Structure 1
Amino acid sequence: MTAIQPALDGSIPPAKKTATRQRAEDYDTWLAQVWPKYIEAAATGRVFTCWEIADKHQLPEPPDPAHHWGRLMTLLRDEGYTRTAGWACTNRPTAHHSGVRTWKGTAAARRAAA
């Protein structure tokens, strides 16, 4: 049990919200949940990282995070929705500003959204 430190006026502060994220049960269910958000991001034509979209929409973690995020981005590229745009430092808290690939939506993604 963790101790709660009361404020100077004696009141108990509200509990802090932790940054926990849901984890999907299986790959297909997870893919069906996240796919539309990445198609939407690709349709904007702006450069983005995989984590930016996941964080913005509070998307669930896949069953195998170490491999499924990369697989998602490869599928989007293979389907013609995105292309590589370069590299950037990630904002993901656990990655310590590591270099990650950036993506940009293609003209086909913009046409699909229209």
Structure 2
Amino acid sequence: MSTPIQPALDGSIPAPKTTAARRRAEDYEAWLAEVWPVFLEVAATGRTFTCYEVAHSRDLADPPDPAHHWGRLMTLLKDEGYVRTAGWACSDRPTAHHSGVRTWRGTAAARAGRAAA
């Protein structure tokens, strides 16, 4: 059974509302293959960023376990020499209530495209 749509007073049909739910990847390796190149591109800019800022602006899928996999991604990028910690900021994530989050910046090696494993 479909949900009835209430027309506006002028008779037009309103656009469907988009939900706040984000896509969620079902497989960690597939998710990593999707987000890795995006974070490498951001690291190459040398600007300071948060995980959520990049994920939100690029409409990236959440990993299968968001509570742990985002941090694991940043640890892998740091271990590979692409990013370094830059400090702390208040989170823009709506559910985080402006709590403190780590900020990251691409390394000189990432900007030069030669980060080492």
TM-score by length of 1: 0.90
Aligned residue number for residue 33 of structure 1: 34
- Correspondence for 1:85: 86
Question: What 5-or-longer segments of structure 1 have no aligned partner?
Answer: none
Report 1:65-104 matches (<5 A): 65-104=66-105
Instruction: Specify every segment of 5 or more residues in structure 2 that has no aligned partner in the other structure, as ranges.
Output: none
Q: Please identify, of 10-19 and 51-60, the stretch whose mean Cα deviation from structure 2 is larger.
A: 10-19
Q: In the alignment, what sits opposite 1:20? A: 21
Count of residue pairs the alignment pairs up: 113
Percent identity at matched positions? 73
What is the CA RMSD across the aligned residues, in angstroms?
1.6
Query: In the TM superposition, what is the alpha-carbon distance from 1:25 to its structure 2 partner?
Result: 1.4
Give 1:21 deviation, angstroms.
Answer: 1.8
Looking at structure 1, the residues matched to 88 and 3 of structure 2 have their Cα atoms a distance apart, in angstroms, of 41
More off after superposition, 87-96 vs 11-20 = 11-20
**Aligned residue number for residue 10 of structure 2:** 9
Work out whether 1:47 is the aligned partner of 2:57. Answer: no
What SS class does the counterpart of residue 86 from structure 2 fall into? Answer: strand
CA distance in 2 between counterparts of 1:104 and 1:2 reads: 47
Amino acid in structure 1 at the alignment position of 2:96: A
Give 1:5 deviation, angstroms.
Answer: 4.2
